[in-house]
């Protein structure tokens, strides 16, 4: 978590520290499983997304800041 006003107020970031090797192992296993189902998006693919998707993203970004 970043200790600045934006992170604390707007980004709703939190930090959790767990000192348990079994829990850490489970989290690592879940992450590796997620990677098996993930699709990499390259910079070029991201830049080629439709203009309508870009407009929706920008609108959602503006609305998210005031919620």
State yes or no: pLDDT of 2 exceeds 80.
no
pLDDT tens profile 14-49: 778 899 999 999 999 999 999 999 999 999 999 999
pLDDT tens profile 45-65: 999 999 999 999 999 988 887
Instruction: Name the more confident of 27 and 12.
Output: 27
**Number of domains the chain is built from:** 1
What separation, in Å, do the N-terminal and C-terminal C-alpha atoms of the chain show?
20
Give dist(CA 1, CA 31) in Å, integer.
19
CB 14 within 8 A of CB 2: no
pTM summary value: 0.53
pLDDT of residue 38: 96
pLDDT of residue 1: 63
User: CB under 8 Å to 40, separation ≥6 — which residues?
Assistant: none
Nearest of 3, 53, 45 to residue 61 by alpha carbon:
53
Domain of residue 9 covers 5-66
Dihedral sign, Cα of residue 34, residue 38, residue 43, residue 48: negative
């Amino acid at each position: 978590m970043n200790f600045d006003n934006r992170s604390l107020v707007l980004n709703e970031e939190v930090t959790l520290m767990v000192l348990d090797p079994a829990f850490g192992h489970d989290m690592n296993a879940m992450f590796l499983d997620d990677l098996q189902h993930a699709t990499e998006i390259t910079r070029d693919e991201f830049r080629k997304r439709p203009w309508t998707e870009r407009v929706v993203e920008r609108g959602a970004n503006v609305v998210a800041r005031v919620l």
